[in-house]
Structures are given as structure tokens and as C-alpha cells.
């Protein structure tokens, strides 16, 4: 079944090239190109029984065909079957098409039923004009709708999968799952599941298929989740065979640093530090994820890990996804480490050439013991002297390849650097199991003493004037406030309250207050000045976009207003809310929304009102929006799954984990074949 696609009828080099865009390289790949949804063309529906919003197959006699001009040219074809009448509407048509619809001829069409001015209509349906005495044909199975790419139509994909299914009868794909697993879970055979999903019979439970819960879908989802999990465990196994510098000293320096801190570490921070110290002392690379809610104190834990590495004679590097967060880390670490005689180096894409050359020189000759920066850290031209520890903040913004690229910067005669990744987005257990199977996980599940939960309310934007008065009152009493807007400029497409418009409005409404503005399109130096002025109390009200989502720490800020809260994800709202509540004052978060609210928006805002627990927020966000949205960016942190869904199929993950561990010891060959089947050649995954 690994024959090239060109062995199929109708596939030449040009079509094969287009099919590669769908990840199709051999015949077996076609079997695993599964339908996105299904259409029921197995039975004709009477026109009189049509329901708006349904997609149906109907047949009728052409009663009238005419071209009308209503702003644009329309071809309207009226058909009837004795039970009712239906209009077919075409905006794009040729003379030949128009001539086909002769009064009295019969036509079969399939499309979505909509309400029109003169009753039900279909816009641009698929249709066939029948010959005299020809009966309307129905399909023997539900019609699959496949992922498409330019130049490859659905009909062509159905034809190719038909050919692949016929070949599968002669040479079925190998059964790679252990028989005891498929038997225990009551799974169909692989060939049976594939055939059913490509060509479901007319009596198939369409709702079950659309929900992705059919046993045949679950059979393939299980194998796909297993492939991804195995690939990440391969990465982990690879790391365990590699060398790393065993960092066994630095206890005195670390103890002195902790003793000089102006606060007491929490029990959770101490536990996680012990786990990190134990990992660093091993001669194999640490690969650890730290999860901690906003304000739980991950940065000081990272600082202690860096100090231990530096005290043991190696360099440490910290990478953050945005310049504003990287700058904040650089300032924190400079404040902590300068008294110890350690000057952190700074590296970012927007640096001036002279400053960049100076940073690169100090990194290469080992003078820079600690380097803080953005993704510029793993670009060409950056050479470390002796990189022993890599720390990546907000890991989900980068993804495995970028993480590996920075790690490979530190490969030396001593081996690979240790790696610590951090996220302030708490990750539900099943998602962490799937997304971070190559990492050990530590959780900082305790907030520093004295922190009060942030009080959260949702308010319609019709009460904006009340909120402005609340801001005036809070700032007059010596507190500070954030006003967050999703966009920078006014948009005609999206009716968001833009930051610049809000800044003007609030400056006019609150002439007695010092109002500042920070957004992502400002130059780094401008952003830095704005944030620093806010931190020093020179600005009382900061209007900002979501650039302040992570990292910015102003203890005196006790009020957070978030515009258009109904259009933002739960985890992002929780991150923004975490910018307040960092001091001793009771803090408040106001979610301004534009009514009326949809069902999901109502649920989302209710969750934030009811809890400050980031893990509960993350679980609900996962359920409402899916894993890609929860982790911030579709393109990096998580792989795309062809059939599996980490929310829907979460209950499969514990069994996937057990099966993977069993296969890695007893069926290593089959484990590798499953990874190859679903992910192709994954060698670059482990070696970037």
C-alpha cells in the first residue's frame, strides 16, 4: 500500500504535486485522509418536506427559468414535484447552462435549503439535468466531504479513495495495535474502520459520525493519539541517552540568594526547586515543564535554576516570546544578579547593530553568564561558549522545533544543555499528557501569602460611564488601573473598541488623570518608557492592547477593565486578570461586553466570575474552544490531528499512555511503524 499515487488511474505528476499539499504521498496516505463531514444523498426528499438549514437531495420538473437583474445578474430556476416548489439561484452561469433548464425537463439537485423571498431556495446547488425517462439516482452510502486543496475537487478525491479502497481489499494495512488492546476496547479492525468512515452505509448514525464518537472513528483516533504520544516519548528516550554537564555545585550561592530575598518562598516553590536541582545534578539533560498560575512565582524559581548553573561554570539562556516579556525578565534578573557580580546580556531582533555585536561577542567568549532574549537567541550567528541551561517562558508560543533549535545551540563535547520550560497557562492533565509527553512536569500550585483573589464582574458596555467613574475614584485614592483593548486601530470589519480610540476617549473623560498608552506596534523603547512610567506611578491609567497579557508586574495596579471581553478566550482573560492582585490591596476586574451575549460567551464570563483557579479556567477553556486556542497559537504549540480531538477523546489518553509504554518495550517495531503511518518521517522532530 506504499505504492506511489501515480499508480492510480488519472494521477499524473501535476496532480501528484497538488495532492502532496494534503500530505498525500502514497496510496496508504489516501486511506488516512478521512472525511471532515458527510452528506446524505441516499434518499430523495419531497420539496414539501424541506426544512431551512438542511442539505438535501431533491428532484423536480423545471417550471420556469429566467434571468433577472437585482443589483446583479441572477439565473432563477423554479422546479416542482407535486408536493411543493423550490427556486434554484445561480449568480455565475453561462448561456449553455441557462439553455439546459428547458421547461418540462427533470433535474436532480443537492444543496443547502434557505428561506428566500418567494419560499425555499438553493444557491448554486450541485445539479444534473436528467435525460428523458431517466430516474433520479441516489447514492448507496453517505457522501464524504474531504479536506480540499486548490485544483483538487471533491469528485476527484472520492474517485481516488474508491481506487485506494479497492486496493485495500487485496492488501489491507497492517494491524499495528496489540490484539489485547483492540479486544479490550471493543475496536473494529483497521481495514473495517477505514472502509466504514470513507463510505458509511445509508443506515449509519450520522449524528454519531458528526460528533466523532463512532467506534470506527475512535479506533483511528486512538492510533493517531498513540502515534503523537510515541513520537514525544522517542524525544524523551533520545534525551536520556545523551550526555549533559552534571551541575552538582552552587549550594552556597543558591542558599545565600534565597536568604536575601525580601519574601519567603512558598512550599510549592521549594518543592519545584528541589526537583530542578535533582535533575541538574544528573549527567543527562533535564527536560522539565513548570506550570504555575499567574502570580505563583515561576520567575524566581527560574532565577535560582540559572544561579545554580552559573555557579557550576556554565551559561544560562532565557527565551521569551515577546520583547516586552523578555525585557521584563531581563530587568528582574539584572536587579537580582547585579549585586552578585553577574550582568545579564540582552539579545533581540530589534537591537541596534552595535549593541547586538557587543552582546554576541560576550555570549561567544563566555563573559555573558546569563543571556535573556526573544527567538533571536536561536538564530544564525549566535554562538555560546558553554551553554548548560536553557529556560523557555510561555513554551506554547514556540513549539517543539524552536525549543529544539535553542537546545542544539548548546551541543558541545559535554553533551546537550539542560532544559526548563515554563507556562502561565495551566494545562489540564489530559492535554499535558498529549502535548508534553517528552517533559517531566512540576506544578507550582500555591500563591504567595497575602494574595487576595481578584473580584470579577461582567458589565454591559452601556454602563461605560459608571466604569469610568470607578476608574476615577480608584486612581484618586492612589491606586492604578489598566484599560485593555483587543485592537490598536479602529476596524470597520470588527466592531472592537480600539486602544487609540479608547485612549482619546479616556483622556477627554478623565482630564485630572495621567493616562498612558502601550501597544504592540510601538517601538520597543517607547513601550519600555510607557511601562516604566506606569510602574513608577507616573501614569495612573494605562490603556493597552493584550501585549500586557503576560509578565508585567505592577503591585499598585488594582483595577483591570477589559473591553470586548466576550470575544476573548478564557485563558487569555485569566492571564490579563492576573496583572492585578499582585499587591496587598483588594483588586477588581471588570469584563465589559457588548450585548446580547451568545451561549458560549455567557458561559465564559460566568466561569471567570465564579473562580480564580487557573486550572479550572483552563479546563473550561479547553471544553469551550479546543486545545489549539487554549495554548495561544494554532501554528506552534500543538500538532494538527487528522481525526483525534483532545477534548472529545480525552478519556482515551490514559489507555493511550499505557499502550505506548507497553509497545515501547514489547513491540518497538510496531511502535515505530505507527509513528511513521501518522506522522511520516519524524527524525527532524528529534534532531532539528
The CATH number for 86's domain is 2.40.50.140
- The string of pLDDT tens digits covering residues 101-140 is 999 999 999 999 999 888 999 999 989 999 888 888 888 8
Indicate whether 177 pLDDT > 60.
yes
Same domain, 197 and 96: no
Strands of 359-485, DSSP E:
370-373, 387-393, 418-423, 440-444, 455-460, 480-484
Same domain, 53 and 18: no
**Three cell numbers written together for 235:** 524525544
CA atoms within 13 A on the CB side of 17: 4
Residues 559 and 412 occupy one common structural domain:
no
Provide the number of structural domains found in the chain.
4
User: Does residue 89 form part of some domain?
Assistant: yes
Q: Residue 561: pLDDT band by 50, 70, 90 thresholds? A: very high
End residue of a domain, out of 383, 413, 444: 444
Give CA torsion, residues 317, 319, 324, 325, to 10 deg.
Answer: -90
Asked whether residue 367 is assigned to any structural domain, the reply reads yes
Q: What is the pLDDT of residue 115?
A: 92
Full residue range of the structural domain in which residue 193 is found: 5-39+143-204
**Helices marked H in 281-428:** 298-311, 323-337, 353-364, 400-409
Under 8 Å between Cβ of 78 and 61: no
Q: Do residue 64 and residue 148 come from a single domain?
A: no
Q: Is the residue at 190 inside a domain?
A: yes
pLDDT of residue 626: 61
How large is the C-alpha radius of gyration of the chain?
30
Cα 149 to Cα 354: distance, rounded to the nearest angstrom: 46
Q: Are residues 251 and 152 located together in one domain of the fold? A: no
Task: Report the sign of the C-alpha dihedral through residues 604, 605, 607, 613, in that order.
Answer: positive
Quick one: pLDDT at residue 205? Answer: 87
**Would you say residue 600 lies in a domain?**
yes
CB neighbourhood size of 133 (10 A): 6
Q: Which of 323, 431, 494, 457 is nearest to 653 (CA)?
A: 431
**% residues pLDDT > 90 (the chain):** 51
Where does a domain end: 398, 422, 444? 444
Of the residues 129, 153, 174, the one at which a domain ends = 129
Together in a domain, 199 and 313: no
**10 Å Cβ neighbour count for 271?**
15
pLDDT (tens digit per residue) in 363-394: 999 999 999 998 888 788 899 999 999 999 87
CA distance 530 to 538: 9
Domain identity same for 105 and 198:
no
Same-domain pairing of 439 and 532 = no
Under a CB-based contact definition with an 8 Å cutoff, are residues 116 and 87 in contact?
yes
Residue 278: HSE in the Cβ half-sphere, 13 Å Cα cutoff: 9
pTM: 0.72
> Do 489 and 433 share a structural domain?
no
Distance, CA of 585 to CA of 203 (rounded, Å): 63
Domain match, 408 and 538 both: no
CB of 538 closer than 8 Å to CB of 530: no
Residues 258 and 378 in one domain: yes
Cα 315 to Cα 387: distance, rounded to the nearest angstrom: 5
**Cis preceding-peptide flag for 561 (omega within 30 of 0):** no
- Co-location of 300 and 421 in the same domain: yes
Domain harbouring 586, CATH code: 3.40.50.300
In a domain, residue 469? The reply is: yes
Amino acid at each position: 500500500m506504499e505504492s506511489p499515487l501515480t499508480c492510480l488511474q488519472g494521477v499524473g505528476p501535476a496532480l501528484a504535486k497538488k495532492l502532496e499539499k494534503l500530505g498525500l504521498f502514497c496510496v496508504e496516505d489516501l486511506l488516512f485522509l478521512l472525511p471532515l463531514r458527510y452528506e446524505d444523498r441516499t434518499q430523495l426528499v419531497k420539496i414539501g418536506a424541506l426544512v431551512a438549514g438542511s442539505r438535501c437531495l431533491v428532484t423536480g420538473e423545471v417550471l420556469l427559468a429566467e434571468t433577472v437583474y437585482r443589483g446583479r445578474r441572477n439565473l432563477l430556476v423554479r422546479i416542482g414535484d407535486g408536493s411543493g416548489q423550490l427556486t434554484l439561484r445561480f449568480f455565475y452561469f453561462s448561456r449553455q447552462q441557462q439553455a439546459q433548464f428547458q421547461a418540462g425537463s427533470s433535474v436532480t439537485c443537492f444543496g443547502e435549503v434557505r428561506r428566500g423571498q418567494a419560499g425555499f431556495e438553493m444557491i448554486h446547488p450541485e445539479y444534473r439535468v436528467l435525460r428523458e425517462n431517466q430516474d433520479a439516482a441516489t447514492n448507496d452510502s453517505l457522501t464524504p466531504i474531504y479536506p480540499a486543496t486548490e485544483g483538487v475537487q471533491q469528485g476527484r478525491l472520492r474517485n481516488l479513495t474508491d481506487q485506494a479502497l479497492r486496493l485495500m481489499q487485496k492488501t489491507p494495512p497492517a494491524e499495528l495495535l496489540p490484539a489485547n488492546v483492540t479486544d479490550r476496547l471493543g475496536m473494529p479492525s483497521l481495514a473495517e474502520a477505514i472502509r466504514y468512515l470513507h463510505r458509511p452505509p445509508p443506515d449509519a448514525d450520522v449524528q454519531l459520525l458528526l460528533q466523532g464518537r463512532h467506534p470506527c472513528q475512535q479506533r483511528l483516533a486512538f492510533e493517531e493519539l498513540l502515534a503523537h504520544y510515541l513520537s514525544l516519548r522517542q524525544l524523551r528516550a533520545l534525551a536520556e541517552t545523551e550526555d549533559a554537564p552534571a551541575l552538582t555545585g552552587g549550594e552556597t550561592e543558591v542558599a545565600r540568594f534565597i536568604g536575601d530575598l525580601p519574601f519567603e518562598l512558598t512550599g510549592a516553590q521549594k518543592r519545584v526547586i528541589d526537583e530542578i536541582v535533582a535533575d541538574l545534578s544528573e549527567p543527562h539533560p533535564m527536560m522539565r515543564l513548570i506550570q504555575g498560575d499567574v502570580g505563583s512565582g515561576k520567575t524566581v524559581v527560574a532565577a535560582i535554576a540559572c544561579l545554580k548553573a552559573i555557579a557550576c561554570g556554565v551559561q544560562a539562556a532565557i527565551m521569551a516570546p515577546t520583547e516586552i516579556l523578555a525585557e521584563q525578565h531581563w530587568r528582574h534578573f539584572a536587579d537580582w544578579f547585579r549585586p552578585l557580580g553577574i550582568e545579564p546580556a540582552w539579545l533581540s531582533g530589534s537591537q541596534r547593530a552595535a549593541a547586538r555585536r557587543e552582546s554576541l561577542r560576550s555570549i561567544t567568549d563566555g563573559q555573558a553568564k546569563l543571556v535573556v532574549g526573544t527567538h533571536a537567541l536561536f538564530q544564525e550567528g549566535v554562538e555560546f561558549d558553554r551553554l548548560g541551561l536553557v529556560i523557555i517562558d510561555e513554551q506554547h508560543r514556540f513549539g517543539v522545533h524552536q525549543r529544539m533549535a535553542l537546545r542544539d545551540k548548546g551541543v558541545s563535547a559535554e553533551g546537550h544543555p539542560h532544559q526548563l520550560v515554563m507556562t502561565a497557562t495551566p494545562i489540564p492533565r489530559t492535554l499535558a499528557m498529549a502535548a508534553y509527553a517528552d517533559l517531566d512536569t512540576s506544578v507550582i500550585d500555591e500563591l504567595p501569602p497575602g494574595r487576595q483573589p481578584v473580584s470579577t464582574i461582567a458589565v454591559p458596555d452601556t454602563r461605560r460611564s459608571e466604569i469610568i467613574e470607578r476608574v476615577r475614584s480608584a486612581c484618586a485614592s492612589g491606586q492604578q488601573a489598566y484599560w485593555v483593548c483587543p485592537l490598536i486601530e479602529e476596524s470597520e470589519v470588527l466592531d472592537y473598541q480600539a486602544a487609540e480610540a479608547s485612549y482619546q476617549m479616556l483622556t477627554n473623560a478623565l482630564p485630572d488623570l495621567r493616562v498612558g498608552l502601550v501597544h504592540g506596534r510601538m517601538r520597543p523603547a517607547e513601550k519600555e518608557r510607557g511601562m516604566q512610567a506606569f510602574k513608577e506611578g507616573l501614569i495612573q491609567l494605562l490603556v493597552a492592547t493584550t501585549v500586557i497579557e503576560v509578565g508585567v508586574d505592577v503591585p499598585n495596579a488594582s483595577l483591570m477593565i477589559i473591553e470586548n471581553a466576550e470575544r476573548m478566550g478564557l485563558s487569555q482573560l485569566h492571564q490579563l486578570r492576573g496583572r492585578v492582585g499582585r499587591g496587598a490591596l483588594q483588586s477588581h476586574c471588570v469584563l465589559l461586553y457588548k450585548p446580547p451575549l451568545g451561549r458560549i460567551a455567557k458561559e465564559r464570563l460566568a466561569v471567570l466570575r465564579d473562580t480564580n483557579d487557573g486550572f479550572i479556567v483552563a479546563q473550561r477553556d479547553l471544553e469551550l474552544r479546543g486545545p489549539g486556542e487554549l495554548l495561544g497559537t494554532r501554528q506552534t504549540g500543538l500538532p494538527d490531528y487528522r481525526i483525534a480531538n483532545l477534548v472529545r477523546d480525552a478519556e482515551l489518553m490514559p489507555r493511550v499512555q499505557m499502550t505506548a509504554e507497553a509497545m515501547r518495550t514489547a513491540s518497538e517495531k510496531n511502535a515505530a511503524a505507527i509513528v511513521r503511518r501518522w506522522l511520516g518521517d519524524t527524525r527532524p522532530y528529534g534532531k532539528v
